[in-house]
Structure formats: C-alpha cells, structure tokens
Chains A and B, each alone.
Chain A
C-alpha cells in the first residue's frame, strides 16, 4: 500500500504506541515515518515484531517498558477494559511514563473512562488527551484520520504536531471526555442515517425502480450523504466488506446509549438501530460493514421466499416449529450477551 502523505516532523520526539490492530499498526507506522523514535507494544508480541520488521523502530514486552522515558505515549486498543489493562498496574503505561510526558488515547471508549484516566494522569504529573479517531482503516493507512480531542489546551498544543503524522484534521473540542463525546455524536449521526439509506434503497428495489439511477438523481439534493455517495452502490450489490464492522459499531452505540442514560438525551432512532445491529450480529454478520443494515429489510429476493413458506404454516404444522424457533432465538440472545 502506498501512502498518500508522508509528513516529516520538525521536532522528532521519543514516542511509544500501544495496540497494533487494524488502526494502530498503520498509525504507528506513520509516526515512525515522520521521523519519531517509536517503540511499540502489542498484546500478541508477534504483531509487534512484524511492525518493527516493516517500519524499523523497537518493540517492548510490556506497556510500561514501551512507555519508559518517552515524551508521548499513544494507545489504540479495543474497549474500556482493554484500555484499563494496558494503563494500570506495575506493567501498565502510567507506571512507565516519566513526569511531564503525555498520554494520548485513540481508543473509542466511554467519556467516563477518559475522565478517570485524566484524573489518574494528573496525580502523577502526566498530561492526558482522549483522542478517538474517524476515517476507518483506509484513513489510518493513508494517514488522513480525523482526530477528536478532549483535554487541556497546553497538552493539546504539545501533542498535536506528533499525532498529526496520521491525521488530516486534529481538533480540540473541550475538556477531558469531549473527544469521546464528539465521536459518539459522529456514530449517532451515522447509525440513523445508514438505516434511512437502507430503507430508501430497499424501498426503491421493492418498487421496481432503477436503483442506481435513483441514487444518481437524489444524491444531488437534500438526501445526499457521505454514506449515499460511498456505500449505496455496494449496498445494492449486497457487498459489505468496506471497513468499519458491525461488531465495532455495536460497541460504540452501547457507549452512546450508556452516556445518554447519564445526560438525559433521547435516542429513539439510535436505540432502534442498535437493536438492528444486534440482529445483524445474530445472523452471523458481525464482521460485515455497518451498511449491512439493509440485509434486515425486505428485498425482491427474500420476500418471494417468505411468501412460499407461508402456505406450509397454514397447513396446520405451525405449532411445533414455532416453539422451536422461539427457543432457538432465546439461546442466540444468551450467547450474544
């Protein structure tokens, strides 16, 4: 893969990057290519070795060892608990960092855990920024992410030149937690919109319209969206391997709904879409991209099937199979929890 941008840092620093998943791996790579002295840590060490083979730099056996003596530590892991596990304890990031250093968390996590880490970091004389990103795997690979940051202005000013290595836009949105809250707004706007787009496209199919032509026409007006411009075609082709997975969106929406319970915001559509994503997971689509919501809706193909099944039920065999279905569904639900 070729990089669109390779930025050289004016002032190279010592940095650590914790978590080399689909996002972290290329992000840490951009940091190294910008000229910073980067040490990485990953839960499975093999991935960290792969990273050093590709980019140079060093890897460390623990988060604390990676964080030792560096100016800035960036993390990008799975969720609140993963985050706590790489931060706290004798082998955690905070144990390794020197006074005055800055910790930047790129994980999409709760605003609560961001505030918690900010408080812990302050106790140790460390700077902290919550800095979730958007732009997906492609954005990470091309170094063009949008970074939404919460924290203090002084800390932000110091960290910005470094994290800009993998970003197109880096914005301070408020105190600790504000980065996470902004990411939540982003996900809320996407989830409901993708559901609307799914309903529009499946309606067009059911109405017998030339769907691509419809998209071409309505995307010039008030119905236009990034999702329509970039996903409608693949949704109509029933292809769902274009980035951000349902499992991750489900995690993010869970965080949004928790936060809304605290701040009192009503989220009727978001709540509904969260349940729909749960159903997509239930049909084995957890790794499909978020536009797979359309799979739950009536399409010209799947309605014919349902119509064929109906007469069998009417023949009086409905009772037993119906019970079985209910049991299966209940089991499925338990598993997912």
Chain B
C-alpha cells in the first residue's frame, strides 16, 4: 500500500516540526518554503520531497497544510498563479494553520469551494514546544465532513483537535485565546512588578498566590522567568502584536468592546518601538520594571 500524499507549505518554527510529525505518522509529505534552503534541509532530515512552488507541492496531495506568517503570506501561497489551490485536485482538503483573520478564512473557504476543494481554518496554540512535541491545540472552522476527513492527519501534531463552527470559527477561537492570554499576562506583570517594588520575595509570592483564585497557566509557567527578566520562552512580542491587530480589527466589525486588550496592544507596540519585538510575549513586565 502506497502512503497517502500530503503537502506542507511554510516551514517556520511551527511548520517545520509539524510537517515532521505528519511524515512520521506515515504520510508521504512534499514541502514548500519561501526560502528553498529550509525546504531542502527538511527533506534531508525527514526523507521527504521539496517542491519549487506551492502548486507543485500540492499536486497529487489529498491534504495540503499551510502555516505561514499572516493574511498576505497566506493569500500569496494559496491564491496566486503558483499557489496551492492551482495544484490541488477536486475533493482534496486545504488546511490553514496560520493565525490569520476570520475574513481571510472565509475568503479562502469560498475560493476553494469554487474549485470543489474543501477548506478548514485551523490555527494552533501550544507554541514552538507544542509543535516540537506534537502536543498542539488545534481550533478548527469549517464543515463537519471535511473536519472528519482531515482530523486524523491533524492528530499527528495535535493533542486536542476541535471543530468550533463554520469557516472562520477556528480563527475566532484563537482570538479569544489571545485576549485571555494577554489579559492574564499584563495583570501578572503588574502584580510581579508591584511585588518587587514592595520589597517582597516575588517568587515566594508566586508560590503562595498560585494556589488560589489568582492562579493562571501564565503565573505557573512564566511568573518566575518574568521575575528573572528572561524572555526567551517562545511566542514573540512581534507575533502577539500581529495577533492582537487581527483581534482589534475583528472587534471593530463585530462590535465587541475590548478596552484592556487595546491597552495591552499598545504596550506591545511600545516594546517593538524599544527594539524588544523578539522577546517572548511576557516581556510586558519590562515596560514596568524598566520604563
């Protein structure tokens, strides 16, 4: 029995190991990356193939997964002349793991539909560590049948893969995730900075208050690294600012009021302006410790 064919477009921090997991689960994976060298490295490491364009990679694949930077990158690797859709056959599935707008998800859903191709928006959370360990949370928007077909492939790197609703619902769920994350982070940043200014043993404070109603994943996993002024633990300020930009735009159109999220988006912009865009997104505390 020959292996099922898949394509992977975009081999960044997330896509590279995700495509690897798919390969390890027995899929025959052809990859494409904007800088070809990365695609060749991947092909060498995993013994797969690399292609010169997204369309070439997608040709003959049952499922094509994309994980790129933003809405525009996504459009260029899917909709352009050499884009994935140009290479895909009727009845195949395009899965987008990029964190992008709900609008572009709906746009791609429609564009794919016209060609008889199925589309799922499927942003992930769990960071680079989750991608490397194959422990991501995948939030999916699309129709049930397509989801049922694509789910086994996504399980290669997803610990939890959930259909949230129609096209765009995956992206919208990821937005809710980011809103809740940054609120917890800014509150934690203010609390820890206050503790240090007050002369408390901030780590001891974290040990005590993380047992109660102030507990959060961020407090348990990032509280102490924030106190140590260490910010090399994954998801960067630049990426979070991009995600919050998408959130603010979506809120403008759906009417949601998100004052704290807006405030925190400004904080991230200030970090970028200070040249701290590559620090991880808990660097919010630096605006308080080193204003």
Q: Which of A5-13, A66-74, A151-159, A218-226 has 4 or more CB atoms under 8 Å from chain B?
A: A218-226
Contact indicator B211/A146 (Cβ below 8 Å): yes
Expressed in whole angstroms, the minimum distance between the Cβ of A55 and any Cβ of chain B is 26
Give the distance in Å from the alpha carbon of A310 to the alpha carbon of B227 in the complex. Answer: 48
Q: Which residues of A contact B209 (CB under 8 A)?
A: 134, 146, 148, 182, 185-186, 189
Contact indicator B191/A196 (Cβ below 8 Å): no
Contact indicator B164/A209 (Cβ below 8 Å): yes
Among B127, B201, B214, B254, residue most surrounded by chain A Cβ atoms (within 10 Å): B214
Contact of B191 among A188, A214, A226, A263 (CB under 8 A): A188
Contact indicator B211/A203 (Cβ below 8 Å): no
What interface size band does chain A fall in?
A: 35 or more
Give the distance in Å from the alpha carbon of A106 to the alpha carbon of B120 in the complex. Answer: 54
Contact indicator A146/B208 (Cβ below 8 Å): yes
Give the distance in Å from the alpha carbon of A182 to the alpha carbon of B175 in the complex. Answer: 32
* Interface residue A234 (Cβ < 8 Å from any Cβ of B): no
Contact indicator A206/B254 (Cβ below 8 Å): yes
Q: Could you tell me which residues of chain A, from 103 to 156, have a CB within 8 Å of some CB in chain B?
A: 111, 134-136, 146, 148
Q: Given A171-B208, A214-B164, A272-B260, A188 and B190 touching (CB < 8 A)? A: yes
Q: Could you tell me which residues of chain A, from 65 to 83, have a CB within 8 Å of some CB in chain B?
A: none
* Interface residue B237 (Cβ < 8 Å from any Cβ of A): no
Q: Which residues of A contact B261 (CB under 8 A)?
A: 196, 199
Contact indicator B213/A173 (Cβ below 8 Å): no
- For B, the interface residue count at a CB cutoff of 8 angstroms equals 69
Contact indicator B180/A200 (Cβ below 8 Å): yes
Expressed in whole angstroms, the minimum distance between the Cβ of B55 and any Cβ of chain A is 33
Give the distance in Å from the alpha carbon of A270 to the alpha carbon of B183 in the complex. Answer: 11
Contact indicator B260/A173 (Cβ below 8 Å): no
Q: Which residues of A contact B192 (CB under 8 A)?
A: 185
Give the distance in Å from the alpha carbon of A270 to the alpha carbon of B126 in the complex. Answer: 27
Q: CB-defined interface of B26-64 with A at 8 Å, one 1/0 digit per residue? A: 000000000000000000000000000000000000000
Q: Given A204-B176, A223-B177, A186 and B212 touching (CB < 8 A)? A: yes
Q: CB-defined interface of A181-220 with B at 8 Å, one 1/0 digit per residue? A: 1101111111111011101111110111110011011101
By beta carbon, the residue of chain B nearest A306 is: B255
Expressed in whole angstroms, the minimum distance between the Cβ of B10 and any Cβ of chain A is 22
* Interface residue B179 (Cβ < 8 Å from any Cβ of A): yes
**Secondary structure type dominating chain A contacts:** helix
Contact indicator B213/A226 (Cβ below 8 Å): yes
Q: Given A174-B200, A259-B198, A223 and B211 touching (CB < 8 A)? A: no
Contact indicator A189/B214 (Cβ below 8 Å): yes
Give the distance in Å from the alpha carbon of A105 to the alpha carbon of B149 in the complex. Answer: 62
Q: CB-defined interface of B252-279 with A at 8 Å, one 1/0 digit per residue? A: 0011111111011001000000000000
Q: Which residues of B contact A195 (CB under 8 A)?
A: 183, 187, 260
By beta carbon, the residue of chain A nearest B139 is: A217
Contact indicator B195/A224 (Cβ below 8 Å): no
* Interface residue B114 (Cβ < 8 Å from any Cβ of A): no
Expressed in whole angstroms, the minimum distance between the Cβ of A170 and any Cβ of chain B is 10
Contact of B190 among A200, A201, A269 (CB under 8 A): A269
Give the distance in Å from the alpha carbon of A188 to the alpha carbon of B179 in the complex. Answer: 18
Q: Could you tell me which residues of chain A, from 17 to 43, have a CB within 8 Å of some CB in chain B?
A: none
* Interface residue A283 (Cβ < 8 Å from any Cβ of B): no
Give the distance in Å from the alpha carbon of A225 to the alpha carbon of B162 in the complex. Answer: 20
Q: Which residues of B contact A256 (CB under 8 A)?
A: 194
Among A204, A206, A225, residue most surrounded by chain B Cβ atoms (within 10 Å): A225
Q: Which residues of A contact B178 (CB under 8 A)?
A: 223
Q: Which residues of B contact A189 (CB under 8 A)?
A: 187-188, 190-191, 209, 214, 216, 219
Give the distance in Å from the alpha carbon of A14 to the alpha carbon of B261 in the complex. Answer: 52
By beta carbon, the residue of chain B nearest A217 is: B162
Give the distance in Å from the alpha carbon of A273 to the alpha carbon of B184 in the complex. Answer: 13
Expressed in whole angstroms, the minimum distance between the Cβ of A241 and any Cβ of chain B is 16
* Interface residue A321 (Cβ < 8 Å from any Cβ of B): no
Give the distance in Å from the alpha carbon of A319 to the alpha carbon of B212 in the complex. Answer: 50
Contact of A267 among B160, B164, B190, B207 (CB under 8 A): B190
Q: Which residues of A contact B267 (CB under 8 A)?
A: 268
Contact of B257 among A136, A187, A297 (CB under 8 A): A297
Give the distance in Å from the alpha carbon of A316 to the alpha carbon of B247 in the complex. Answer: 35
* Interface residue B137 (Cβ < 8 Å from any Cβ of A): yes
Contact of B251 among A135, A191, A203 (CB under 8 A): A203
Give the distance in Å from the alpha carbon of A318 to the alpha carbon of B245 in the complex. Answer: 34
Contact indicator B255/A225 (Cβ below 8 Å): no
Q: CB-defined interface of A264-277 with B at 8 Å, one 1/0 digit per residue? A: 11111110110010
Expressed in whole angstroms, the minimum distance between the Cβ of A332 and any Cβ of chain B is 20
Q: Which residues of B contact A265 (CB under 8 A)?
A: 190, 193-194, 197-198, 288
Contact indicator B257/A298 (Cβ below 8 Å): yes
**Further 5 A-B residue pairs, CB within 8 A, beyond A185-B214, A186-B212, A218-B180:** A134-B212, A190-B214, A197-B184, A203-B176, A225-B216
The 4 A-B pairs with the shortest beta carbon distances in the complex, nearest first, are A196-B183, A192-B187, A225-B216, A223-B180
30 contacts between A and B (CB under 8 A): A173-B208, A182-B205, A185-B194, A185-B209, A186-B209, A189-B209, A189-B216, A189-B219, A193-B187, A196-B184, A202-B258, A203-B254, A203-B258, A206-B254, A209-B176, A210-B164, A213-B164, A214-B176, A222-B125, A223-B177, A224-B216, A224-B217, A263-B199, A266-B287, A266-B291, A268-B263, A269-B186, A269-B187, A269-B264, A273-B260
